[in-house]
Every structure is written in structure tokens, then in C-alpha cells.
Structure 1
Amino acid sequence: MNAALAFSVLILFAVAVPIGVSLVLASAFGIHFFSNVPLLLMAQRVFTSLDSFPLLAVPLFILSGNLMAAGGISERLVGLAKSMVGGIQGGLACTCVITCMIFASVSGSSVATTFAIGAILIPAMVRHGYPVGTAAGIQASSAELGVLIPPSIPLILFGVATETSVGQLFLAGLGPGLLIAAALFVYLRILCKIKGYGLRDGDDSEPFPKALVKAFWALLMPVVVLGGIYGGVFTPTEASAIAVVYALVVGMFVYRSLTWAKIHDAFQTSVVSSTIIMIIIAGAGLFSFLVTRSGLPTIIADWVQQVFTDKVSFLLAVNVFLFIVGMFVETSAAILVLAPLLTPIAVNYGVDPVHFGLIIVVNLALGMFTPPVGVNLFAACAVAKISIQKIIPSLLPMVLVVMGCVLLVTYIPFISLGLVEYFYR
């Protein structure tokens, strides 16, 4: 049955059937032809996959991010970041990294970050003399911070798929997120010095105190959400509901830029995005059930332990495998299908499940801006109105920078687990 499931999924992927639908159809095919269980099991397993309280955080964080973006948060965060670093050469490029890092703690989504911040900063960088391909590449690579800085939708999905604490995963995401942001910051400063970009990036930037006042309510949201989680006031799922209420109140009554029409659009966009993710979750849950029932995880675990005799070689193989997967498979689907298979094996090698969750998410985040199907890549190209061919030359060095960070996160557990050990253990 394993071969039939894999073959049917690959065929469906090849003919461009959506990932969630592919997983459901392949599972139905496997149940009907290669299993003695009734088809009625499909409905039961799909319901079980979605019947999870932590999963409620996914649509709510998506909605809160869309409401904050529609309410003018992105412009205020860009203004704040520009007031901090706009005066240095390459300040706009560095502003992109800092703004994406801050906005990531609002939206939890790298694609939302790409559109919200890229719509402002890509045209601004082009006006200041950056090649359009370089500007789009900077945005695409910086936006990956949206899946690392909490709240992070992929980290929620990993927690649900492997029964790992979402609160600990959120805390563990801060170290890798800050590391990648710092590495991109240093690289962009060097690039701008060599190429002569951004000599007048400080033009029109506001004084820092004024920009901070404007962005105060936007910056307070992650403080309220994360402070409440780690202070034990509410769970991550309850925090997502509070984030929605906060976004509505700030957008409508503080900034007064969130109209009923914008609220309607934000809800509509959130419903579509949430539905796509939930279909993938349902399909992945059914698919994973069949794979587990077939005994494949045990077969894979035995093979892996025979081939890779130590943790170092195992983690290196995982990095290579996930990098390839991330280039072709949507992040949510990859996490939901692979995390339950790989995490028990990693634990057998002595890898902490929280640390392994960050290894998976950081690797798949890299895939978000690598060809051929990196979602951030397409989003940045759509904002910049250019083809992918124009963005790739400037993107490759940033891919190498993030690869270096992936290796550091993999082999230095303290980067992920330092804060977790301090607060939880």
C-alpha cells in the first residue's frame, strides 16, 4: 500500500491537483484498493484531524494578521524601522529585514508579510536606486521570518502534528528568527557598500520618537499576545482570539483606518487562506493515518538507524532532505506529513522534539524563497511585477546566508532551546 499511496500522490501532484485534494484522493484510492477498512473511515479520520483546540489558533492568527495589515500597521512599522536604520547606507534594505521581523510577530505568515511590507518597500527601494530584482529578492528572503518569529502558523501545525507544546515552540522560534535577521542585516550592509546601493536611504525618514509613538499600538500587540502566553494568563489558542479583538479595536478606534469594507475583505481573505490550510490538514491527517497503519514509520526508522549511525549524520541528511522537499512542497503539507514520521526517529537519536521542530520549520522556511515553487518568491515577483528569472541572481547569496543559519540552528541546540530551558525547564 505504501508504494501505491506514494505513486498516486506523485501523479496527482504532477497534474497540478491541489495538495490537500491530492492527499484525500490518494488516501481514498489506498483505502478502496489496498485496505480492508471501510470508506466510512475517511470521514471519521478527517473529523479527528480537525478536532483539535490548538488548531483554532490558525484561522484566528491569520485573521488578526490580515486585520492589522488592513488597518495600516505595515506603514507604521516601516516608518519605525526606517527611523532606526534608514540613515545608514543600505538603510532601506535593512528596514525591510527589521520590519518583516516585527510584522511577523503580528501576522504569523510569511506570504502575508511579503505582500504587506513588499507593497511599500519594494517600490521605495527601486526609487532609491536598487535594481528591482534585488529589491524583490531582499523582500522574499526577509519575509521568511514570518514563520519563525512567534506567533507562527507552521510552528502551531508542528505542535499539533507531534503533540509538542506550542508555547515552547513559539519561544524556541525567537532565537533562530533573530539569528537569520542578524545574518541578513550584515549581508545587506556589505552588499550595499560593495554595490553602492542606498546612499540616500535616510531621506524622508521621521525622527525615532515620533515614529515610535505612531507605531506604539502596533508594537504592543505581540507584547500582549506573547506576554499573556508566557505569563500563564492564556493559552496560544486564546491568545489568537485576543489578537483578533485587539486588531479590530486598534484598527477601528485608535488608527481609524479600518473601514467596514476593509474588514469584509480581511475576513474574506482569511476564510480562503484558512480553508486551504484546513483541507491540507484534513488530507494530511488521513494520509498519515494510512501510512502509520501500514507500518512505514517503523520501516523508515529501522532503515535510518542502520544507515546513519550518529546524530550528526542523521541531522545532516534531514537538512538535505527537507531543503529538497521545501523547494517543491507547500510548507503546511510538508510539516503535517513528515513531522509525525521524522520526529520519533529524531527523539531516538537524542534530539529534543522542540529543537527538531525548529530544524524542520527553518529548513522549510528556506524553501519558501527558493525556486521552483517558493511561495515568497512568487509573492515578491507579483508585487514587483517581474519574472522569477530577474530575481534569482540576487537571491542566491541570500539563500547561502540562510543555509549557514540553518546549520547553526541544527548543530547548536542552545539557539532554539536557550529560552525554553530558562522559562520552562
Structure 2
Amino acid sequence: MTTFTFSHAAPRRLAGALDTILGHLVEIPAALLVVAEIVVLLAGVTSRYVMHTPLVWSDELASILFLWLAMLGAVVALRRGEHMRMTALVGMASPGVRAFLDVIAIAAPLAFLMLVIGPAVEFAQDEAFITTPALDIANTWRAAALPVGTGLMLLVACLRLIKSANWRLTISALALVAAIAGSFVALAPVFRDLGNVNLLIFFVGLVALTVLSGVPIAFSFGLAAFGYLALTTSTPLVVVVGRMDEGMSHLILLSVPLFVFLGQLIEMTGMAAAMIAFLASLLGHVRGGLSYVLVGAMYLVSGISGSKAADMAAVAPVLFPEMKARGAKPGDLVALLAATGAQTETIPPSLVLITLGSVTGVSISALFTGGMLPGIVLAVTLCAVVWWRYRSDDLSAVRRATRGEILKKLLIAVPALALPFVIRAAVVEGIATATEVSTIGIVYAVLAGLLIYRRFEWARLKPMLIDTAALSGAILLIIGAATSMAWALTQSGFSGQLARAMGALPGGAAMFMAASIIAFIVLGSVLEGIPAIVLFGPLMFPIARQMGINDVHYAMVVILAMGVGLFAPPFGVGYYSACAVSRINPDEGMKPIAGYIAALIVGLIVVAAVPWISTGFLH
């Protein structure tokens, strides 16, 4: 008995030690790549706007570093268990089933990584024949990130399985994944005769099975795309790796890690707290006043971090203690916080807007311009519910801030308040790209923290940089996998059939818009925001154009619909993020959020019915 315990524990201890070493070997380069990305892009911006002599190599070097950052970030995210996954159903299961599904969530990505490692190596070798124009080096230096990142994720997945507390569960999960994979391979001759029925099997059946089982979304998409192409077509798998690379390497996406880091800087330097303190001094004495402040604060800070969880984490700890002291129920607080998460999805520089622009070709500056007013419309509908709920509050014990106090807090908040407006104005006016503005924003936030707010926690920089890499890697791997999946759908002719079916709906553009709203609410609740947009944006936008719907108007409607799904319980993962940030039990917010979700849907219908709200300020 003693011998068995030792033999069981020794591999786990060894795996734990190797995992710790691997963590340092990956996290430090990933953090340094974030710094390098900021420095290279800032050098390009400075050279272009200050020296008036553009650095021809800066974008190219940034693109090479970016793919490495994406892949190493994905490794960090896998090691930490931070890849986006739907856990609503997993959370409802019994402890035994939940433990089994948690192991499946490692075993299924392992199957995908084993499938992709060979084609990734072949892809990197093929890129040796291409030379980069500015740096004049083989493109293999960039493409090698794919096999290296895949290999490291493979190692991480194996170590996590070895570290698993229950080997019986691990072996059962591996056996189940192997059995499913084996049965799919055995049925390959049957699949080849099924035609487009395969789309249902792989892109509905397999994706639904893996996503609902809690397998990370990026790997669920990857398994479906690679499985479909390997077993039903003669397409070389190296082509699919190329589509993944294309999806992850879009220059517009360079701003993703930079905005994530900028959002963390705003919170760390006290800029977010300064904004909220000013708003609270203005409205704190009004019935439900701090709820209005919550709506306004989320509008101001939203989109800058690239993570709704980060936005909520910047606002909730500052406001919630005072709101609770005034008698607000925890369930009401978390319900409104989640609702503001959905309300602010279109506020620039939202990563959803940047991603949508990159996959559909819609102008980023037009999306930034069009996104401001829809957020205000939804804010008004939320504020109407706040007014109704808090109309009979007793505020006799609340002291109204004096003009002097308000003015003092305004002066403190001005540098912080200016940043979101400067960022949005620079992109909207075409002065700088979203990527360039994000680097300027980082410099501004660092200087404001050091010189104005005198708050800059150097010890937090390393974990912030690693967090940035992990979140960026998780987002970009989804985009890469979803791009390959969307390409497979297009190759199958499905997009043409979808266009014809949607175009044939009775009621024309209005019915198409209604169907899109319902579809994206469902997709938002199941797939989260960015995966839903990447996968279905390229399919739906051409149909909307044929219907005569403006691209920006349609973008605002689908993003808001997706946001409603993302933050609506019981499936919306955004709602559970709000609960985690607030440290409030999800059950408490289920009832109060119904009114806020209804208000969001009313606002969404108004935005859909009145195109001017999205397009009125376009040049």
C-alpha cells in the first residue's frame, strides 16, 4: 500500500516541479514581449509624429513579436486554467461529474494540440521560403511561434493531467476522448458521403458537446474545424494552420494586449478611483444616486481594459461598500453591475469593436464613432429602472457634497477623465490608429500615476504584464481557431446557403434584424462575445449589406444583442464574472437582474429601429 502511494505521489511531485519551472520559462518571456511590443510601437509612433520619418520596420517587428506573444500568452492561460470556457452546466453537476468534466477540459485540448503540432511544424518550415520585406529575414522566425507555442501547450496539458489528484478520473477522461476521436476517424468514409450534414455533426454537434462540457472555447472550435477538414475533405491541414495564423496576426489586433495593459494601469494608478469619486460627489445625494454613478463610471472606463471583468473590478470595490452602507441589497448591486457590462459593449475602444472591424472589414474609426450613442440609449433605459426601484429611498442621513468639494474632486479627476475622451477622439478623428493610441495612452497613464496621482506600485508591474499576456493569448487563440472554423464553413458553401435562407425571410430587413438579435443573444450566452463575433460576423454582414442595412448600424445591434446574452443568467458567463468581482452569490442577483435585462432589450430594440443612433455622427 505504501509503495503504491509513493509511486502515485512521486510523478505528481515531479510534474509540479516541472510545471513551476515551465511557468517561469514562459511567463517571463511573455511579460517581456508585452514590454517589447509597447516599446516598438511607441518608437514607431514617435518616429512618425515627432521626427516625421516613419520607421519602416516597426510594424513588421511588432507583427513578429505579436504572434510569439499570442502563443506564449495562450500557454500561460492554459497553465493557469484561464482560457474562456462555459461552466454554467458544469457548475450545476454533482462534485464527481464536475471533477470528471474538469479533466475532460484538459484532455480534449490535448487531443487538439496533438492534431495540430505536425501541421504547425510543416507550416513554419514552408514559411522559410518567404522573406520579410523590411527586416529581410525568413518568415520562419515569426511562424515558429505556432509549433513552439503548440508544443509548450502540449507539455502543459500533460503536466496538468499528471498532477491530477485522481488518476482513475484522468485515465477515464483520456479513454473517453480517445474513444470519441477513434470513432470519428473510423467513420471518415461515411462522413465523406454525407455532404453538408457534416456541418451539423461537427459545427453544431461537436462544438455543442465540447463547449457545454466545459472544454475551453478556442479548443472546441479548433477540434471542430480540424476534425471537419481532416475527415470530410482532402484539404491539407497545413492550410488550416495558415488560416489560424491569418486570424491571429491581423495588424488591428496588435492593440489587444496594449488596451488590456492600459486598463490595468488606470486601476493601479488610482485614475479609476478619481473618476468615480467625482461622479459620486455629483450624484451621491440623489435617490439611487450611486447606482447612476455605477452606470456612468462603467461608461467612462468601459472598453479601455479589453476585459469586462477588469472594468467591473475597477468600479465595484470603490462603489459597493458605500452603496451597501446606504441599504442597497447585494443582489441589486451585482445585477446592475452585470447589466452595465452589457450596456457598454459598444463603447470605444472596446476589443469587440476592434475584433469585429478586423474580421468584417468595417472601419474601426466608424465603429468607434457609432458606438458612443447606443451605449447612452441603454444607459437611459437602465437609469429608468434605477429611478423606479429607488424612488422611495430615505436619504435624510446622506450629506450633499458642497460646491467646493465637487470642484476639488473634479480637479483631481480631470487627468483621469481626459484619457478616455482623448483615446476615443484620436481614433474617431483619424489622428492615430487604435494601436498607436493605446501606446500613447499607456505613456499618459504611467506619467499620470508617477507625477500627478503619485501612485505607482512597481511590484505589481510583473503580474500585470503576465496577466496581460495570458488574457491576450486566450482571446487571440479563440480568434485564430474561429477564423479557421469560419473558413471551413465558407469552403463548404454554407455561407451562401445561409445568405439565401436569411434573404428569403418574409418581412425583409426588419425580420432579418429581429432574427439577428435573437441569434446573437443566444450566441452571446453560449460562446461569449469575441468568439460569436469572429465566427458569425463574416457570414452575417454580407447578408445585412444585401438587405440595405448600414454596416455600423448592424454592428451596434449585433454587439449589444451579444452583450445581453453574455450578461444574462443562467448561461451568460459575464454575469458570473460580475458575481466573482463583487464576491456576491449568483443566486442573489437572479431576480433583480430580470428588470435590467428587460430594460436593455427595450434599449436594443430602439437602437435597431432608429439607425440614426448608430450612424448619425458618421462623416
Distance 1:200 1:84 in 2: 17
> Which residue is equivalent to 1:315?
513
Label 1:283 to 1:200 Cα distance change in 2 as closer, same or farther (>3 A): farther
Equivalent of 2:575, from 358, 377, 387?
Answer: 377
TM, length-normalised to structure 1: 0.94
> Which residue is equivalent to 1:417?
615
Deviations 1:248-286 (A, max 9, x none): 222233212121112223212211111110010000111
Equivalent of 1:396, from 586, 590, 594?
Answer: 594
Deviations 1:188-216 (A, max 9, x none): 1221014x266655567882211111111
> Which residue is equivalent to 2:200?
3
Higher relative contact order (CA 8 A, sep 6+): 1
> Which residue is equivalent to 2:270?
72
Distance 2:315 2:573 in 1: 15
Rg larger for: 2
Distance 2:199 2:500 in 1: 16
Q: Which runs of 5+ in 2 are unaligned?
A: 1-197
Correspondences of 1:260-299 after superposition (within 5 Å) = 260-299=458-497
> Is 1:124 aligned to 2:322, yes or no?
yes
Matching residue's letter, 2:382: L
Deviations 1:50-109 (A, max 9, x none): 221111111111111111111112211110111221121111111111111111164354
> Which residue is equivalent to 1:161?
359
Correspondences of 1:131-170 after superposition (within 5 Å) = 131-170=329-368
> Which residue is equivalent to 2:93?
none
> CA contact under 8 A between 1:92 and 1:198: conserved in structure 2?
no
- How far is the alpha carbon of 1:227 from its aligned partner? 2.4
Say which SS state the counterpart of residue 616 (structure 2) adopts: helix
Distance 2:225 2:481 in 1: 8
Correspondences of 1:71-220 after superposition (within 5 Å) = 71-104=269-302, 106-194=304-392, 196=393, 200=397, 202=399, 207-220=405-418
Distance 2:311 2:389 in 1: 23
> CA contact under 8 A between 2:521 and 2:563: conserved in structure 1?
no
> Which residue is equivalent to 1:62?
260
Distance 1:322 1:133 in 2: 26
Distance 2:582 2:422 in 1: 34
> Is 1:324 aligned to 2:522, yes or no?
yes
> Which residue is equivalent to 1:53?
251
- How far is the alpha carbon of 1:389 from its aligned partner? 1.5
Label 1:352 to 1:197 Cα distance change in 2 as closer, same or farther (>3 A): farther
Single out whichever of 299-308 and 126-135 deviates more from structure 2: 299-308
> CA contact under 8 A between 2:303 and 2:345: conserved in structure 1?
no
Say which SS state the counterpart of residue 454 (structure 2) adopts: coil
> CA contact under 8 A between 1:129 and 1:198: conserved in structure 2?
no
Label 1:321 to 1:189 Cα distance change in 2 as closer, same or farther (>3 A): same
Q: CA RMSD in A?
A: 1.8
Distance 2:474 2:285 in 1: 42
> CA contact under 8 A between 2:304 and 2:350: conserved in structure 1?
no
Distance 2:341 2:583 in 1: 17
Equivalent of 1:258, from 456, 473, 487?
Answer: 456
> CA contact under 8 A between 2:268 and 2:456: conserved in structure 1?
yes
Label 1:76 to 1:200 Cα distance change in 2 as closer, same or farther (>3 A): farther
> CA contact under 8 A between 1:110 and 1:145: conserved in structure 2?
no
- How far is the alpha carbon of 1:370 from its aligned partner? 0.3
Single out whichever of 198-207 and 363-372 deviates more from structure 2: 198-207
> CA contact under 8 A between 1:288 and 1:337: conserved in structure 2?
yes
- How far is the alpha carbon of 1:46 from its aligned partner? 1.1
Distance 1:397 1:85 in 2: 22
> Is 1:346 aligned to 2:346, yes or no?
no
- How far is the alpha carbon of 1:124 from its aligned partner? 2.0
- How far is the alpha carbon of 1:324 from its aligned partner? 1.8
- How far is the alpha carbon of 1:342 from its aligned partner? 0.8
Single out whichever of 402-411 and 107-116 deviates more from structure 2: 107-116
Distance 2:215 2:459 in 1: 33
Single out whichever of 215-224 and 273-282 deviates more from structure 2: 215-224
Distance 2:406 2:306 in 1: 26
Equivalent of 2:557, from 346, 351, 359?
Answer: 359
> Which residue is equivalent to 2:233?
35
Matching residue's letter, 2:331: G
Say which SS state the counterpart of residue 617 (structure 2) adopts: helix
> Which residue is equivalent to 2:215?
17
Distance 2:573 2:201 in 1: 29
- How far is the alpha carbon of 1:292 from its aligned partner? 0.4
> CA contact under 8 A between 1:328 and 1:372: conserved in structure 2?
no
Correspondences of 1:236-247 after superposition (within 5 Å) = 236-247=434-445
Matching residue's letter, 1:80: F
Deviations 1:13-41 (A, max 9, x none): 12211001111111111111011111111
Matching residue's letter, 2:561: N
Deviations 1:143-189 (A, max 9, x none): 33442211111011111110110110011000101111122223212
> CA contact under 8 A between 2:525 and 2:573: conserved in structure 1?
no
Aligned pairs, number = 420
Sequence identity (%): 27
